[in-house]
Structure 1
Amino acid sequence: MSLTEKQSGVLRGIVLGGTLSLMLVLLGAFFNPLAIDVTLNDFGRLKLAIVAALLPALLLAISVGRLAKQRFFQPLDIDGGGLSPGTEQARVLQSLLQNTLEQFCLAFAAYLAWSVVMPARCMSVVVLAAIAFSVGRLLFFLGYRKGAPARALGFALTFYPSLLMLLSAALYLFYICFL
């Protein structure tokens, strides 16, 4: 099966983003590059996860604000997407908001799961993932109108760290409980 040019572009972005995400998780888990205290208690771990989620939450708030501004200043959009067809810009901003909300929910669950399940020496991953989320969202926002290949790296940097964290935490939990 041959890939279209767009599919090839998306594949390049997700392979690069996936590779960077894997490196980020491995670096944070095995080398503690942020020198986070290895004796961090449960409260400290949860606090770390919540504080790390501030950057992603701010990007979610920016997404909400951008759509709210669009709706307020555009007569075709002021009634909201459920009551009017809306402008193309409102639909784009709604798509960005929806995707950011989905990614934030996944990331926050991953940060909490990781902070509760994994050893304290691995907590750098949470902060590194939040940074990757933020860089990824910015790349996604900037590339959105240029098409799927232009936003693939941004999507990957947002999604894959969360996915790797969730899978790793689940596997580690299984390991410590059953093996």
Structure 2
Amino acid sequence: MDPRTIDLRREISGVRTGAAKGAALCIGLLLASYFVLPSFFFFPRDLVGALAFTLQVDLFVLSWVMVGVGLVSHARRQSTQDIGGSAFGTPSEDIRIKIAFLQNTLEQAVIAIGTHVVFSTLVSGDALSLVVAAAFLFGVGRIAFYRGYPRGAAARAFGMVTTVIPGLLAFVASIVLMVLRAVSG
């Protein structure tokens, strides 16, 4: 996208709309998962079980990093400009979005997995259904982010927010739970 052709007000409005839709999806799915999934699945009630469960669920988050690596790797092999690697030239148009997707996915995966693991040390049982929903939302967010990327920030916003909100909520919940434990303990 050429920055000279972007209508900033329109783009910001689109970002807000996409972000609101992403946040609504996250809140709705997290709440539904908390109330519905425990009826169908047993969630561990001990610390070791909760950690093992979360690490296993987060394999699905990690799989999106692998998807990003695969996209970049495949694109490099298809281009004489890119096959030498990023250290030897400017990336072609064909690979730039894939590289941006991979970088952003790696950043978001670190945040998601880290917050999921900490959260799972503070909760057990039915609350672990939120980790399942968060991993699912991560995948939905990554798909939407990648598909929207070529069309600008407004088109990426839904995917970005859908990826970020579950980790952000796990981060905030973890801090609140740690403070509550410290105060009551």
TM-score (norm 2): 0.87
Q: Aligned pair 1:34/2:25, yes or no?
A: no
- Residue identity (%): 30
Q: Over aligned residue pairs, what C-alpha RMSD do you find?
A: 1.7
- Within the candidate set 90, 99, 102, 1:94 is matched to 99
* C-alpha spacing 1:156/1:143, structure 2 compared with 1 (3 Å): same
> Paired residues, what number?
175
CA distance in 2, matches of 1:121, 1:91: 41
Residue number in structure 2 paired with 1:55: 60
Deviations 1:130-168 (A, max 9, x none): 001111111111111111111111111100110011111
- Residue 178 of structure 1 aligns to a residue in which SS? helix
Letter in 1 for 2:158: L
Q: Aligned pair 1:109/2:111, yes or no?
A: no
- Residue 37 of structure 1 aligns to a residue in which SS? coil
Larger mean Cα displacement after TM superposition, 53-62 or 156-165:
53-62
Letter in 2 for 1:158: T
Deviations 1:37-84 (A, max 9, x none): 365212211121112112221111011011011112211001211221
Give the unaligned 5+ runs of structure 2.
1-7
Residue number in structure 2 paired with 1:142: 147
Shift of 1:124: 0.4
CA distance in 2, matches of 1:143, 1:131: 18
Give the unaligned 5+ runs of structure 1.
none
CA distance in 1, matches of 2:46, 2:33: 18
- Within the candidate set 19, 25, 28, 2:24 is matched to 19
CA distance in 2, matches of 1:40, 1:50: 15
